[in-house]
């Protein structure tokens, strides 16, 4: 029961590492270093730990920059998703200004806690379309077709709905569908989509879903109405306490570099990240007998590799870092789903602004959540999905006849991957101010298969300093053409809702339908959707877009080092990334166990 009487069992660097860092050769084999079998860097990988830690003699060290943040508020769906509230466990740093977008700067947001992004995200659970993985498999990634990875989705999932094919029911990661829409415009939006001929599909998370459809989203919320993050699912207090002798969870700790002997990784250096910064001179080292597994995310993983001398040679030399392995793919090929929001004014009680602007209403909703487990505090920020394939629309945005032919919209075929998502969200999804007392319904139009690429490069050799992130949005002109279409479709849905009698007025929309006005709108409204990926992509080292890890997630040319997070995705998936991140973690665990010599 909450609150726990025993605190979550975390340790600090002095408890688990040897001070001063990497032992010199004269120390003999690792001197007095603390020794573990595996060192895991980055707390999203916690999904692996209960499974890797099969044998009682296996010792694991987990290093995470954020904290355990094991509080009641961190489980309330709406409160924990309000990532901009002070004290929320996030990294927030500006991206490189983009000249092609009038130099406007947006912020990157990432989770900083055990469980990474799953602690603060929108709780949307989507595996993505089978075609995405089948495309990887077609391009040579062995073991990564949808049929091959589906068991790893099933293993982790504890679906709370009816027993249907393709879902997991016994896993610790709870997912559910709500049988009603919490807010009126969400329901009216589904009606409008139906009127436009967009089919409603029962279950986005099965291969039977067509490449163009809408429907109700699965959310990672458990039966008691709590957020079910990867932390809650895979390393709850009971598991952490049970394993504390052989699993050391070291929070508030930044890994600063991976340490080598020749081309073999032998351990990790790290320090405690105090609010005031690192304590001078307090560096620690721990030795990894078997492997180091990096899962610091698409921004953190390339940063740690480059700080350790693995990355593009010229860049490392420029930063004065000794090159251990020249790997041009590290930090290259940053992919992200760029988004642009159109927004409409709606009645206040029809949007989340009601909670912000009406304190009494907020208290009422809160009590409803507390005592009945209902209401807006339980509601996921996005409750419905709308995935579209642009080629199925005529220029006037009516649907082509073939969109009704199941063989033409079979989303297991790499030919048929949706390229647009429209996210209906009952809140302000832009940087602009919305007057108090105004309700908002937004349509966040997102490119699912962007062609533009960015990069992550070191801004400083200080591991606590955010790297330079160039998102490269719209550097490929095809993305701008597609985004215009996505905005036009968003506006079309809004018009349909209005035509069907729902009261919505323009709040943030393009001045006209001309390409020039749409482009101006894109430049002033573009944003990230927090789906950073592919900066250590799984592909051959000499691929035209160079890879960093092989099909077993081992870093090319370096022994005893794997990566398991969204950075390894060969290209961005056409969907939200937390479920794929967990699938990657489960598959990595499986491969680590397969590759572990039996003793």
- Residue 519 CB, shortest distance to ligand FAD, in Å, is 27
Are the C-beta atoms of residues 312 and 326 closer than 8 Å to each other?
Answer: yes
Interacting stretch for ligand FAD, rule CB under 6 A, among 63-71, 204-212, 259-267, 366-374? 63-71
What are the DSSP calls for 446-505, one per residue? EESS----BEEE-S-S-TTSPPEEE--TT-SHHHHHHHHHHHHHHHHHHHHHHHTT---E
Q: Which helix (H) or strand (E) holds 424?
A: strand 420-425
Q: Residue 548, interface with ligand FAD (CB under 6 A)?
A: no
Q: Residue 49, interface with ligand FAD (CB under 6 A)?
A: no
Q: How far apart are CA 490 and CA 342, in angstroms?
A: 7
Q: How far apart are CA 553 and CA 558, in angstroms?
A: 11
Are the C-beta atoms of residues 203 and 164 closer than 8 Å to each other?
Answer: yes
Segment 437 to 496, residues that bind ligand FAD, using CB under 6 A: 463
- Residue 121 CB, shortest distance to ligand FAD, in Å, is 3
For CA atoms 65, 69, 70, 75, the dihedral sign is negative
Segment 234 to 293, residues that bind ligand FAD, using CB under 6 A: 254-255
Selected from 74, 121, 428, 490, the binder of ligand FAD by CB under 6 A is 121
Long-range contacts of 352-357 (CB under 8 A, 24+ apart): 352/78, 352/183, 352/376, 352/379, 352/381, 352/426, 352/427, 353/426, 353/427, 353/428, 353/434, 353/438, 353/439, 353/440, 354/439, 355/78, 357/436, 357/437, 357/438
Selected from 60, 124, 378, 384, the binder of ligand FAD by CB under 6 A is 124
Closest CB to ligand FAD among residues 417, 518? 417
Q: Residue 158, interface with ligand FAD (CB under 6 A)?
A: no
Interacting stretch for ligand FAD, rule CB under 6 A, among 298-306, 354-362, 406-414, 500-508? 298-306
Rg of the chain, C-alpha, whole Å: 24
Q: Does the annotation count 590 as an active-site position?
A: no
Q: At what angle do helices 146-156 and 578-595 cross, to 10 degrees?
A: 100
Are the C-beta atoms of residues 553 and 568 closer than 8 Å to each other?
Answer: yes
Closest CB to ligand FAD among residues 152, 502? 152
Q: Which residues are annotated as a binding site for FAD?
A: 121-124
- Residue 19 CB, shortest distance to ligand FAD, in Å, is 18
- Residue 64 CB, shortest distance to ligand FAD, in Å, is 5
Closest CB to ligand FAD among residues 447, 518? 447
In the DSSP assignment, the letter for residue 372 is H
Q: Which residues are annotated as a binding site?
A: 121-124
The catalytically annotated residue of 287, 531, 556, 590 is 531
Closest CB to ligand FAD among residues 403, 571? 571
Selected from 110, 554, 556, 590, the binder of ligand FAD by CB under 6 A is 110
| Binding flags for ligand FAD, 508-537, as an x/- string (CB under 6 A) | ----------------------xx------
Q: Residue 172, interface with ligand FAD (CB under 6 A)?
A: no
Interacting stretch for ligand FAD, rule CB under 6 A, among 328-336, 340-348, 361-369, 571-579? 571-579
Are the C-beta atoms of residues 157 and 171 closer than 8 Å to each other?
Answer: yes
Q: Which helix (H) or strand (E) holds 363?
A: helix 359-372
Q: Residue 44, interface with ligand FAD (CB under 6 A)?
A: yes
Q: Does the annotation count 576 as an active-site position?
A: yes
For CA atoms 486, 392, 198, 220, the dihedral sign is negative
Q: At what angle do helices 477-499 and 515-525 cross, to 10 degrees?
A: 100
Q: Residue 122, interface with ligand FAD (CB under 6 A)?
A: yes
Selected from 235, 240, 434, 577, the binder of ligand FAD by CB under 6 A is 577
- Residue 255 CB, shortest distance to ligand FAD, in Å, is 4
Q: How far apart are CA 134 and CA 132, in angstroms?
A: 6
Are the C-beta atoms of residues 390 and 420 closer than 8 Å to each other?
Answer: yes
| Binding flags for ligand FAD, 24-43, as an x/- string (CB under 6 A) | -----------------xxx
Cβ atoms < 10 Å from Cβ of 361: 15
Closest CB to ligand FAD among residues 22, 393? 22
3-state secondary structure of 185: helix
Selected from 30, 59, 65, 488, the binder of ligand FAD by CB under 6 A is 65
- Residue 299 CB, shortest distance to ligand FAD, in Å, is 7
Q: Residue 155, interface with ligand FAD (CB under 6 A)?
A: no
Cβ atoms < 10 Å from Cβ of 363: 11
The catalytically annotated residue of 353, 556, 576, 590 is 576
In the DSSP assignment, the letter for residue 350 is G
Alpha-carbon 225 to chain mean position = 22
Tokens, residue 44: 């999203």
Interacting stretch for ligand FAD, rule CB under 6 A, among 108-116, 161-169, 490-498, 542-550? 108-116
Selected from 297, 331, 439, 472, the binder of ligand FAD by CB under 6 A is 297
| Binding flags for ligand FAD, 195-234, as an x/- string (CB under 6 A) | ----------------------------------------
Name residue 92's beta-bridge partners.
109
Closest CB to ligand FAD among residues 42, 510? 42
CA 524-529-533 angle, to 5 degrees, is: 125
Q: Residue 141, interface with ligand FAD (CB under 6 A)?
A: no
Closest CB to ligand FAD among residues 480, 587? 587
Q: Which helix (H) or strand (E) holds 521?
A: helix 515-525
Classify each residue of 440-477 as buried b or exposed e, where b means 16 or more C-beta atoms within 10 Å of its C-beta: bbbbbbbbbbbebbbbbbbeeeebeebbbbbbbbbbee
Q: Residue 546, interface with ligand FAD (CB under 6 A)?
A: no
Closest CB to ligand FAD among residues 217, 348? 217
Interacting stretch for ligand FAD, rule CB under 6 A, among 57-65, 184-192, 221-229, 325-333? 57-65
Q: How far apart are CA 313 and CA 324, in angstroms?
A: 9
- Residue 590 CB, shortest distance to ligand FAD, in Å, is 17
Closest CB to ligand FAD among residues 509, 581? 581
Interacting stretch for ligand FAD, rule CB under 6 A, among 112-120, 176-184, 258-266, 429-437? 112-120
The overall longest dimension of the chain from CA atoms, in Å, is 79
Contacting residues toward ligand FAD, per CB under 6 A: 41-44, 63-66, 83, 109-113, 116-118, 120-124, 254-255, 295-298, 300, 304, 463, 530-531, 565-566, 576-579, 581
Kindly list the catalytic residues.
Answer: 531, 576
């Amino acid at each position: 029961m909450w609150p726990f009487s025993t605190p979550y069992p975390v340790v600090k660097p002095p408890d688990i590492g040897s001070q001063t860092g990497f032992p010199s050769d004269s120390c003999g084999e690792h001197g007095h270093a603390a020794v573990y079998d595996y060192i895991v860097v980055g707390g999203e990988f916690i999904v692996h730990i209960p499974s890797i830690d099969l044998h009682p003699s296996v010792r694991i060290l987990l290093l995470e920059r954020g904290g355990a943040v094991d509080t009641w508020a961190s489980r309330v769906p709406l409160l924990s998703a309000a990532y901009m509230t002070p004290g929320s466990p996030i990294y927030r740093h500006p991206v490189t200004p983009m000249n092609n977008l009038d130099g406007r700067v947006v912020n990157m947001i990432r989770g900083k806690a055990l469980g990474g992004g799953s602690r603060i995200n929108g709780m949307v659970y989507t595996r993505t379309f089978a075609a995405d993985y089948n495309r990887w498999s077609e391009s040579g990634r062995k073991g990564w077709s949808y049929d091959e990875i589906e068991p790893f989705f099933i293993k982790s999932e504890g679906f709370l709905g009816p027993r249907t094919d393709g879902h997991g029911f016994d896993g610790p990661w709870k997912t559910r569908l709500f049988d009603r829409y919490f807010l009126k415009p969400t329901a009216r939006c589904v009606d409008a989509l139906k009127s436009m001929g967009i089919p409603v599909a029962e279950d986005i998370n099965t291969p039977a879903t067509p490449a163009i459809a809408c429907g109700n989203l699965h959310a990672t919320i458990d039966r008691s109405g709590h957020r079910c993050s990867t932390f809650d699912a895979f390393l709850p207090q009971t598991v952490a306490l049970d394993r504390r002798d052989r699993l050391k969870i070291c929070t508030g700790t930044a890994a600063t570099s991976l340490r080598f002997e020749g081309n073999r990784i032998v351990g990790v250096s790290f320090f405690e990240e105090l609010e005031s910064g690192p304590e001078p001179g307090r560096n620690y080292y721990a030795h990894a007998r078997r492997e180091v597994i990096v899962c610091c995310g698409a921004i953190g993983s390339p940063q740690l590799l480059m700080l350790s001398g693995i990355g593009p040679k010229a860049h490392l030399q420029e930063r004065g870092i000794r090159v251990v392995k020249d790997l041009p793919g590290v930090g290259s090929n940053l992919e992200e789903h760029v988004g642009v929001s159109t927004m409409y004014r709606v009645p206040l009680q029809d949007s989340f602004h009601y909670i912000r602007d009406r304190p009494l209403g907020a208290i009422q909703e809160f009590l409803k959540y507390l005592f009945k487990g209902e209401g807006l505090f339980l509601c996921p920020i996005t409750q419905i999905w709308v995935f579209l394939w642009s080629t199925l629309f005529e220029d006037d945005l009516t649907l082509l006849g073939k969109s009704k032919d199941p063989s033409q919209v079979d989303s297991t075929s790499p030919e048929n991957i949706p390229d647009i998502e429209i996210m209906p969200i009952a809140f302000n999804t832009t940087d602009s101010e919305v007057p108090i007392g105004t309700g908002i319904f937004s349509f966040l139009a997102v490119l699912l298969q962007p062609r533009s690429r960015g990069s992550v490069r070191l801004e400083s050799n200080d591991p606590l300093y955010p790297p330079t992130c160039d998102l490269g949005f719209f550097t490929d002109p095809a993305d701008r053409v597609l985004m215009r279409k996505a905005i036009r479709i968003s506006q079309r849905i809004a018009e349909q809702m209005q035509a069907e009698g729902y009261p919505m007025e323009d709040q943030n929309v393009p001045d006209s339908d001309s390409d020039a006005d749409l482009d101006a709108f894109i430049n002033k409204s573009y944003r990230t959707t927090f789906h950073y990926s592919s900066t250590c992509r799984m592909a051959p080292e000499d691929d035209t877009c160079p890879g960093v890890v092989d099909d077993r997630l081992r870093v090319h040319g370096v022994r005893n080092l794997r990566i398991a997070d969204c950075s390894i995705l060969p290209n961005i998936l056409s969907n939200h990334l937390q479920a794929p991140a967990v699938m990657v973690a489960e598959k990595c665990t499986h491969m680590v166990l397969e590759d572990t010599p039996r003793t």
